[in-house]
Chains A and B, each alone.
Chain A
Amino acid sequence: MTRKEKSAFIFPAFVHSYPEDPFAGLPGAEDFFTSLLEQVSLHTGFDLTRFNYSFNNLSDNELFTQFITYCYSVTLANILQRKGYNPDFGTGYSMGIYAALVATDVISFADGIDLIKNAHEAITSITGREKYGMCSIIGLNRDDIISVIHTEDLRVGITNQNGEFAFVLSGTKDDIHRFIEYAIAEGALHTREIITSIPYHSALLKETAIPFGFFVNNLVFKQPHYGIVSLIDQKILTDPFQLKQEVIRNLFYPLNWYKTQLKLVNMGVCQFVECGFGNSLAKNSKFIEGDYQFLSVTRFLNLMERG
């Protein structure tokens, strides 16, 4: 990159709704994205080629939405790479980790498909019949949330922090519902149940470590072109073994996006490029002070091409 500022490419989690035109200002992106959907379909046997973002027609299938987000993020990474833009750091938010690894050539696109599929199978094999869920909450701090959980003896836990007063929790479905009620009474400004049946990043998924770990350890991970920052402990991962451990732990260890962004800002990152649908991470970033900007890929390309 012909600039002195440090940048980070961020790969967000999967979403259930899509922008009006996710390919606007990105010539060739739609065709490339379609070709990736075809590859996923061939590889998995699931027909994702019928996906249409305008109709949002596959949003009721959690695995499909993960594949769609993965394909879109890899499409954006491909555009950036073809134009010669490489960041100083990368990171994958939640299930965005797989696209982050593909973007820096640690794994192939096909390996990413297998990782997503195997992670999903490992999770569903242990969650069984019990119903799980997740929610986001704004307005309470960590101590307030922990106090509610302990006082009401709820099977939920904080599984991500997006800001000083913005958190994500995972747990059993019933207790997530109870938590939302108590949190509102405690003064939460906003709560929202997340559309998922899986308690991502929760210790409830610890048993995935064996089957998923076995699968991950049998894959070949290469050295990344740039450091991947861990959302679990904010370490900069440059070694294939560390990256494998990160992928395994990502399913059942709590994340901290807030600390990760702070770390990147403190390391001098001035440009965060959100490589995915929407701008959810950009929105959260407003509560971290610093001289940096969040950019969509389109905006980043415009800025770079204007010099």
Chain B
Amino acid sequence: MAEITENIRKEVKEIVYNFFAEECEVDVSEIRETTKIIKELGGDSLMFLELIEIFKKKYHLDIELKNIGKYAVKHPVETIGQLIDMQMLIIEHENKILEVTK
């Protein structure tokens, strides 16, 4: 489990923005925290899975995908901002994410 620093938050945001800019072929300046991933960017679940893999490798996370899935059922992600928040929780709590009460 990692302590979330301002640097990590900045890094996560940058990765998420650049990832969707590249995958969805939009300019990074067009992406906001309020941008809707599926409706506005045309993102999909495979992109979401790919992003999780990127963070798993980068931060050496011990997290099972199904725990993320269970968390996402209760806390659906629609926007870039919500996705960043969830990634921060994954980095911070890893497999204990289900114990987080938000």
Q: Which residues of A contact B (CB under 8 A)?
A: 138-141, 144, 165-166, 184-190, 283-284, 286-287
Q: Which residue of B lies closest to A189 (CB)?
A: B69
A189 touches B68 (CB 8 A): yes
A184 nearest in chain B by CB position: B73
Contact between B46 and A186, CB atoms less than 8 A apart: no
* Alpha-carbon gap, A144 to B45, bound state (A): 19
B65 within 8 A of A: yes
Shortest distance in angstroms between A272's beta carbon and chain B's nearest beta carbon? 16
**Number of interface residues, chain B, beta carbon within 8 A:** 16
Contact across chains for B66 and A286 when beta carbons are under 8 A apart: no
- Chain B 66-77 per-residue mask, 1 if CB under 8 angstroms from chain A, else 0: 111110110000
Partner of A287, one of B48, B49, B67, B70: B49
A286 pairs with B70, CB closer than 8 A: no
Q: How far is the CA of A139 from the CA of B67 in the complex (A)?
A: 9
Q: Does B78 interact with chain A (Cβ within 8 Å)?
A: no
Q: Are A138 and B66 in contact (CB under 8 A)?
A: no
9 extra interchain contacts, Cβ-Cβ under 8 A, other than A189-B72, A283-B46? Answer: A138-B46, A184-B69, A187-B67, A189-B45, A189-B48, A189-B49, A189-B69, A190-B44, A284-B46
Q: Known: A184-B73, A187-B70, A189-B72. Is A286-B65 also a contact (CB below 8 A)?
A: no
Distance in Å: Cβ of B55 to nearest Cβ of chain A = 14
* Chain B min CB distance to A168 (Å): 13
Ranked nearest first, the 8 interchain pairs of A and B with the lowest CB-CB distance are A187-B66, A190-B45, A187-B69, A187-B70, A189-B69, A139-B69, A139-B65, A138-B45
B33 sits at the interface (CB 8 A): no
A140 (CB) vs chain B CBs: closest residue: B66
A184 and B69 alpha carbons, distance in the complex (Å): 7
A189-B72, A190-B45 given; A286·B50 CB < 8 A: yes
Q: How far is the CA of A151 from the CA of B28 in the complex (A)?
A: 45
Q: Report the separation of the CA atoms of residues A12 and B49 in the bound assembly, to the nearest whole angstrom.
A: 22
Q: List 12 A-B contacts (CB under 8 A).
A: A138-B46, A139-B68, A184-B73, A185-B70, A185-B73, A187-B66, A187-B67, A189-B45, A189-B65, A189-B69, A287-B49, A287-B53
The residue on B at minimum CB distance from A183 is B69
The distance from the CB of A185 to the nearest CB of chain B, in whole angstroms, is: 8
| A186, B68: Cα distance in complex, Å | 10
Q: Kindly report which residue of chain A lies nearest to residue B50, judged by CB atoms.
A: A286
A184-B73, A189-B45, A189-B72 known; A287 vs B50 contact (CB < 8 Å): yes
> In the assembled complex, how far is the CB of residue A191 from the closest CB belonging to chain B, in whole angstroms?
9
Other-chain contact of A188, B50, B64, B66 (Cβ < 8 Å): B66
Q: Is A187's CB under 8 angstroms from B65's CB? A: yes
Docked CA distance A247–B46 (Å): 29
Interface centre among B44, B64, B66, B73 (most CB of A within 10 A): B66
Judging by beta carbons under 8 Å apart, are B49 and A139 in contact?
yes
Query: Residues of B contacting A286 with CB < 8 Å?
Result: 46, 50
Taking CB atoms, residues of chain A closer than 8 Å to B67 are 187
Question: Taking A189-B72, A190-B45 as contacts, is the C-beta distance between A140 and B50 under 8 angstroms?
Answer: no
A186 to B69 alpha-carbon distance, docked (Å)? 8
Tell whether, in the assembled complex, residue A190 and residue B66 are in contact, meaning their CB atoms are under 8 Å apart: no
Contact of B66 among A166, A186, A283 (CB under 8 A): A186
Question: Does A166 lie within 8 Å of B46, measured CB to CB?
Answer: yes
Contacts of A187 in B (CB 8 A): 64-70, 73
A residues less than 8 Å from B49 (CB atoms)? 138-139, 165-166, 189, 287
- CA separation between A284 and B46, bound complex, in Å? 7
- Inside 8 A of B70's CB, which chain A residues have their CB? 185-187
Closest chain B CB from A161 CB (angstroms): 14
